[in-house]
Structure 1
């Protein structure tokens, strides 16, 4: 199981510029037991997060990364310079923070993307059209999510969400979105799950967003009457199921990421649509971490 939400592509925009401001030391955004989530506080911690991503994406998933990435054993691209890196740390591990990192998420706010080459997922989906329809809303992209195998538990996923939720509150985000991945580069192998998403939770009207025409792969692989909802949900990657519980919808069409051997869909989650029970569950805790 991988919690990856977005993958590297061979070409990244050349006009992305790194932030010049010094990042402040950030307090914890959430805690569950010995696990803690917060933003990376230094380039060294961001580098350590890239090492965790390499272990999951390259060594576990056999992703095809660049020769330089393989040499350095780091998964990195141009967006790393402008994103915030959410970390999950096991504070029970002896050593410094870099040794404690067991999971990571990459967060990109709209105001940063606007001056830094755009959103990562617009290389697969028509995100520009979606954002343009909502000029009064602030978008926040979630991506590059992964957790080391021994930490892939419900509480780690909950902590990742708690960190994202606290970050969204802190920065006044209205919409969260990002790529979610199914293993394998053959969408037909996920016909049941993809068809369920297409027929039941596809983003429509003002929230509609489609895969770019040159990459578009149909998700409408089974007639609606042939879909067993319970079996379809059981076949979903855990993070996709988690987003569905929160009230997310899915863009139209999937994209095959050949470098990673995955089938990607786009998650769209307006903050206002998040189920009240989850806001109550995370809000009391995340709200105090967001100030």
Structure 2
């Protein structure tokens, strides 16, 4: 749901290294690498990272058992793939090296297992029906430990997402992205900027569920400073914007996670050539 590092810049010279074709590593920069979780112990460690960010840092509320175990866990963990960023310079087992994670859920898997996580907040069924020949993937539970909220870490997460999308023939990505806090009015500038400039329309339109709908049109367009709005946007949403993403009509307040959520919609065909060249050139070599 939430991420706080700065977004990647495609012209950065610390390009992602290409692993061996026989490796399951999806990218590497220096001592950091990205790949899917291999074991239940690694998934458990990723859930511990999520707990540190969402519960300890962001004050999300979880069940007593999760509090006791210090893990952020839900039913979707069983069916999702878990993308990891590891710092290989840390002594110990791979579980000790996980510093970031993303949760990936393909449409075919979701449809066999009760649907997408974000359907609890946004009415995504009309979007899916309008694109019966396209394959969607949901991104969620994105988080990075504070000391690793850098451009390099975000680059690796996107490298892994892109390689995975290529491998599975994904046509469009979507998922929730969050503002901290449960008062949308505190984010009036940023939400209004998104509403007026990035709102998905027509075939890509998505609305917040009617019973949860919170208006994002909180300021008139003439009162919005684009420069100030960009400063007010969470880094994850700015990163999605640079890739060519659109946002939902309406936001949703998630009291459990202490956030105000918008839906991000990113058709692969909308990603700019600049980023396709940057991520695609590497990812295509190990997406098979």
* Cα deviation, residue 289, structure 1: 2.4
Matched, 1:178 2:175: yes
CA distance in 1, matches of 2:88, 2:192: 41
Query: CA RMSD of the aligned region, Å?
Result: 1.1
- Does the CA-based 8 Å contact 1:26-1:38 persist in structure 2? no
User: Which residue of structure 2 aligns with residue 236 of structure 1?
Assistant: 233
Matched, 1:259 2:256: yes
User: Which residue of structure 2 aligns with residue 121 of structure 1?
Assistant: 118
Return the TM-score normalized by structure 1: 0.91
User: Which residue of structure 1 aligns with residue 130 of structure 2?
Assistant: 133
Write out aligned runs for 1:78-89 (5 A). 78-89=75-86
Matched, 1:212 2:194: no
Pairs aligned (count):
270
CA distance in 1, matches of 2:251, 2:286: 35
CA deviations 1:181-233 (Å, max 9, x no partner) are 00110000000000000000100000000000000000000000011001101
Gaps of at least 5 residues in structure 2 are 5-21
CA distance in 1, matches of 2:279, 2:85: 17
Gaps of at least 5 residues in structure 1 are 5-24
User: Which residue of structure 2 aligns with residue 77 of structure 1?
Assistant: 74
Matched, 1:280 2:287: no
Write out aligned runs for 1:1-291 (5 A). 3=3, 27-291=24-288
**Helix, strand or coil for the counterpart of 1:190?**
helix
**Helix, strand or coil for the counterpart of 1:214?**
helix
Return the TM-score normalized by structure 2: 0.92
Q: Which runs of 4+ in 1 moved over 3 A?
A: none
